[in-house]
Structures are given as C-alpha cells and as structure tokens.
Amino acid sequence: MVDTNRPDITPDLLTHRLQDEIHNAHQDNLNLSSTSSQLAYRRSKLESLNTILNDALMMSQIRTKLPNKFARLPILNNAKVQRFLLKIYNFLFKEQRTINLGVIQVVRESISLNQQLSEQTSNLENVLQLINGTLDKRITSLDDRITSLNDRINAVVDNCQSVSNLTVQRITAIETRLGITDRAIQFLEKNYGDRLRYSQADLAQQKRLITLLLEQQNKPNINTHAVTENIAKENDSADQTEKIQSPQELQLDVFYRALEDKFRGEHSQIRERLQVYLPFLQETTLQSCGDPIIDIGCGRGEWLQLLQDKGYRGLGLDINQVMLEQCQDMGLSVIGRDALSYLESLPDESIGGVTGFHIVEHLPFEYLIQIMAESYRVVRPGGIIIFETQNPHNVLVGSCNFYFDPTHKNPIPPELLQFMAQYSGFGTAQIWPLNPSDNPHVLENSDLADRFNELFYGSMDYAVIGIKG
C-alpha cells in the first residue's frame, strides 16, 4: 500500500509502485484458481490503485512549497526567493502536471472500465456456473441412460450370440442331415434309379399287352391263339411306330440300356464328344433349308439333343423301347422303326443327311450295304452322312473293348467302311480318327515307341464322313 502521508513521495516512486501493483495483480490473477478469490483480490488491488492515483493527483497539483531536497540550499532561507523559485518550479512543470492529470484521468477511466468488466465477468461467471451445474446434471443423467442402454445392448448381444450359436448348431445339424439324405438319394439313384425307370417301362409295356388282350377278349369268337397271332402281326408290321414287346424283349432292352450307361459314358460326356461334327454340318445348307437329319440307332438321344440345340431338325430311329421312351421324355422326335425299312419308305433326295453313331458294328454286312445305298438315294445333293464306330487299328479296342457289347457283330476297319460309302456314291468320303486313349503313353523318342503308342494308345474311334455331290 502507498503511504500518502509521507511528504517525501515523488512521481517516480508513484510510477514504479503503480507499475509494480499492476504487474503483481496480473501475476496473482494467473495464480488464483477460484473465481470468488479472484474477484476479492481484484477489488483490493483496484482500491490500492485508486489510493496511488489519489497520491499522484495530489502530486499533480500546484505546489505550495519546494521539495525538501531544496532546503539544503542556504539561499532558500529567504522567503521571497522561495516564492520566486516556487513560481519558476510550478511554471517549468506546468505541462508535466497537465500530462500527469490526463494520464491519471485515463487510468481512472481504465480502472472504472475494468471494474465494470469485472462485474460483468462476475455475472457471466455466475451464469456459467448455473449453466455448468445444469449441464452437469444433464450429463450425469445422460451418462446414467447411456450406462443403462449399454447394459441393455450387452444383454441383447448376449441373446443374439446365444441365438446365433443355437442357429449355427441347428443349421449344422440340418446340413448334416441333408448331406446324409443327399448321399442316400445318390445311392438310391445309382443303385435303383435305372431299375425303377426300367420297371416303369416294363409296367407300361405290360399295361399295353393287357389292354390289347382285353380288347381281343371283348370281340366274339376270338380265341387265345388268334390273339397271339394278332400280337405277332403287329410286331412284324413295318408301319407300327411303337410295337408291343414280349417280356423277354423288354428285359433285353432294359439290359442294353444299363450296358450303355456302364460302357458308353455319361450323357454329357458323349454330347461333348459329338460337337466335333458341328463344323461339317455348318459347311452344308441343312440349317437354312430345314431338311431333316435321320439318326439311325439314336440311343439315349445325345446327338438329337445337340442338333435340336443348334437349330437343326433331327429324327431318331431305334428299336429299343426303353431308349425311345427316354428320348420322348427329353422332348426329342423319335420313332420305333427298322432303319432300312424306314429309309426305303422315303422319296429320293428328300432328307438332309443320315447319321449313325456306334450302330454299323451291330449290323450284318448285307444289311449295312443296303443302308449305305438307301442313304445315298434319300439324301439330297449337298447332304451329309456320318457313321462313327470303334477303331480296330487300336489293338486294345479290336481285341478287347469291342466285345464289351455282346450285340456287336464284328469290328469294321476304317478303310472298309470308307470304301462302302464311296461305293454307294459318296466319292469324297473321308476317315476321321477320334478319341485318342487317355492311358499313359511310352515316352521314348523313337519310331518303335511311336508305332507302339499308335497301336495301343491311338484313336479308339473313327468316323466316315461323306458329302453327296
């Protein structure tokens, strides 16, 4: 605190003390943490500053006597000299007093503004405290709600996890049961599917036999011998599309269908192999003109299905009732007719082509000669013939694989089948080797190894392809 009763106070001392008070106040503000303590401290400091300013104001007034340090001068013992020097002193420091008064006024206004700001700050701090208190309560409430929600979420997650685990267990159990069921179905299809299909064909054939017998019995004066003769006549009729088979014949058809499945190959595999002939068909005009292609011994219908998918007209001939029904179920056009009698019934140059895949080895020599001759007659110019069979040049095929099918007559060398086609009129008939063996070859680089590989691992099939000029 500045002592105002001291007569030796100077402006410099007041200035230094004022600066020290302001500096100390600033430092103390930084050190005080409590708002209330800051306000109390600011008020005390402002009062101290006002006291200093009051002392400075008193110092800025016109002096009535010289400063004490002039008392040591002997000349000042004279009162007139003192008054003269005092006037001179007041005159010399007149401007300084004016400046000091202005500074004091500015400082006072600054202190006043500072007091107003302090009061406003205090009010704002009180408002902030209220707001902070309200926010603290709301934040506490929100924290409680968030904690409650977290607890509920954790409970839901636990429930979902337990449900998920239970679902996974059930799905696993269902998948296991489905796997067992699939394997059981595959086993049944593999072991009993064909038998079921063959049994259905057998039942259908027996139904036709019973129907025919009932019709014959309803006619008067018809004995059993007459019924048998009528059945035989219908079996021998060339125009009968679907002949009535005896149980023994049906049994053979069922057996041969199973034999095809065993040794011929999968349906998709055979269809893939037969695509090699599509480029030969594209060289003709069969697709644009719409002439039919007759497939002799159509079997399971792989070639007919491929023709249908590529936009060609195909008609299958076969005498195996089981295979015919399978083709009909696939939506293919087939009839149960003898190949030679059907070709003989067609007009000259009335079809686009004749094909036969693994059928010629089933036919007697004289019958095959007639098939070739009739094919040339009924195929129009530009039409095609394709006959595929097993290749006896392959030693394993000619000596063993050929006889897997007991209905095969004898292997036909490629050159012989080519000659038969050329002799019938297809002068440009060609031999196309097909389906080389997948068995490991001899890797030795020599003529003997090459010859051995050709004889034992060469093409297992071949085709004779001819275009009618």
Kindly give the pairing relationship between strand 379-390 and strand 459-467.
antiparallel
DSSP 336-376: ---HHHHHHTSPTT-EEEEEEES-GGGS-HHHHHHHHHHHH
Closest CA to 315 of 352, 279, 283: 352
Cα(308)–Cα(302) distance, integer angstroms: 10
Question: Residue with structure tokens 């093409």?
Answer: 459
Q: What is the DSSP letter of 189?
A: I
- pLDDT at residue number 442: 74
Identify the pLDDT of residue 88: 79
Q: Which of 343, 368, 358 has its CA nearest to residue 434? A: 358
d(CA 437, CA 414) in angstroms, rounded, equals: 17
388 forms beta bridges with 357, 463
| Sign of the torsion angle spanned by Cα atoms 128, 134, 139, 142 | negative
* Contact assessment for residue 424 and residue 385, using Cβ atoms and an 8 Å cutoff: no
Give dist(CA 260, CA 26) in Å, integer.
109
Give me the pLDDT at residue 15, please: 66
**Backbone angles phi and psi of 18, in degrees to 5:** -60, -45
300 and 260 in contact (C-beta within 8 Å)? yes
How confident is the model over 221-241, as pLDDT tens digits?
A: 444 344 334 433 444 443 444
Q: Using alpha carbons only, give the angle 111, 117, 122 rounded to the nearest 5 degrees.
A: 125
For the chain, 469 residues long, the average pLDDT of each consecutive 10-residue run is 46 65 62 59 71 70 69 68 74 73 75 78 83 85 87 88 84 82 69 59 61 62 42 40 55 68 78 92 77 93 93 92 88 94 95 95 94 96 94 87 84 95 94 85 79 85 94
Query: Which residue from 336, 350, 280, 342 is spatially nearest to 310, judged by alpha carbons?
Result: 280
**What per-residue confidence (pLDDT) applies to 166?**
83
pLDDT tens-place string over residues 63-97: 676 666 666 667 666 677 767 777 777 777 777 77
**Burial of residue 56 (number of CB atoms within 10 Å: 0-12, 13-18, 19+):** buried
